[in-house]
Amino acid sequence: MECFRCHGLMVMDTCLNKEGAFDTIWVYEWRCLNCGEVYDSQTLSNRNNCQYKSSPRHAQEVG
């Protein structure tokens, strides 16, 4: 898999997800070896459901 951010190599990784004091579970995620970006199912779901879309910044004249 290729990183969306830097196009580096992504590897499968595991980590502990602590939802609460009693709900600690192992989750699988993709992690980039170059930039450290992490993709898991919750992160991707939240990014897809983002209410605010970013718009490109307009160039300002300096003078």
Is pLDDT above 80 for 28? yes
More confident residue, 15 or 7: 7
The pLDDT tens digits for 36-60 are 999 887 777 877 777 555 555 665 6
**What average pLDDT does this structure show over 18-25?**
68
Confidence of residue 30 (pLDDT cuts 50, 70, 90): very high
**Residue 6 token pair:** 């830097």
Query: What is the torsion angle, in degrees rounded to the nearest 10, for the CA atoms of residue 29, residue 32, residue 38 and residue 41?
Result: -40
Query: Among residues 16, 44, 45, which one has the least CA distance to residue 28?
Result: 16
% of the chain residues with pLDDT over 90 = 25
